Structure 1
Amino acid sequence: MARTKFGDENSYQSGDRINRIRWERKIDFYGLVTYVRGLIDLRRARPDVFAIRDADEIRRRICFYEELGLEVPERCIAYRIIADPAKVHEHTSSDATATDPWRCVALLFNPTPVAKGFPLPPEAADELMAVIVNGIEPPRNAGEALGEYHVGHATVPGRSAMVLRLCTEAECERALVETRLNAISEPYSSMTDLPSLYSSYATPPWSKNPSPAPMDE
């Protein structure tokens, strides 16, 4: 737990002094314990996405960015998972598979010491994606949005990872409000990104209503 093998890089032949779990370290690394617990809860809540057991299904639903023709930063790893339509209704109240936020999940890994930018999967098109795992706080409620949203691309901090899924309608509306409030609260910041973000998620794909008129500045 938190590097307790004293530099032993291949410990399968080592004894208990090296391999035993030092449970007392949970107190010193409680944040890490909470973070890993959140990841375990997420995997248990969505085994159809994060615990695929059939080899053919893995090949069908998981695709590395290189196979999608997407550029990946050097030394980084990225792949996307598409949901199994047969299992969508087990986890969502939506009647339409096309609106399930788990139908496309992006997993981005950056082991380098500097931040790296990643494109988001083509299945997401111009839709807003919500961050559900980052390198700072533990996952919430097995996949709840952490309040960070991206369209088209995302930047992952150094030595960190990010997991994103598509936004729900409520999350799209919340993100739009937060973007506008941030622009208002920072009058000297650039608002050049606001129109593109607004056009991307002001009208979710499942909405039949036209985009509302922009707010007066």
Structure 2
Amino acid sequence: MRIALLVIVTMIVVGLGSCNHSRNMYTSPAFATAAKHHKTIAILPFDVQVGLRPSQMRKMTPEQLYALELQHGRAVQSAFQIHFLQKVNKDGEKIAVQDVNQTNAILKEHDIQPEEIPNYLPSELAQMLGVDAVMVGSLTTEKPVSTAVAAAVAIYTFLYTPYVGSAGPTNSGNTMMKIYDGASGDLLWSYDKTLSRGIGSDTHNIIKAITRKATRQNPYVKMK
């Protein structure tokens, strides 16, 4: 029985582990020059797509799902504002961050929803918001694996390996974010990250992990 369980769980773990971490990042050679003229950056609400199980989807109307994704998008936006301020401006303000409430109020005045942001040029958004740079992004969370699968992995972990977590759904996420120069509209920085969390993870943990990791790579951090 132990061998059979080992085979099954190994297949599951290999499948989950194959997408554990991947990252693509680009920083424009023009970033340092452009960033010297940046006084304020706006972080726009993220376009979020939440992966749910079929049983969860059946209990939700399209309007409820949209409201959930909108709520998550603003949560990510706020999380990035906090992490941005804590990391970038830790030793003194290098660039001011427009309050997300002000950003969202201006977008609402122009009747712009998060999923519609890509329809506007970065320079248009920057002018509209009155900032020198804009950060836009998206977040997709995959539906968790079934509790049964996660529990099977947990059982094997508990019996045959050092303990690493508690049983529960396993989730994964992908985030894409870009920083544009407000004056030229040029892309200055791009970060694309896929992250799989361990047993017991949820969307909140995915958001927290991705924002923390992305903020560490923020090019403003390296400015003197």
TM-score (norm 2): 0.23
Tell which has more relative contact order, 1 or 2 (C-alpha 8 A, sep 6+): 2
Name the structure with the higher helix share: 2
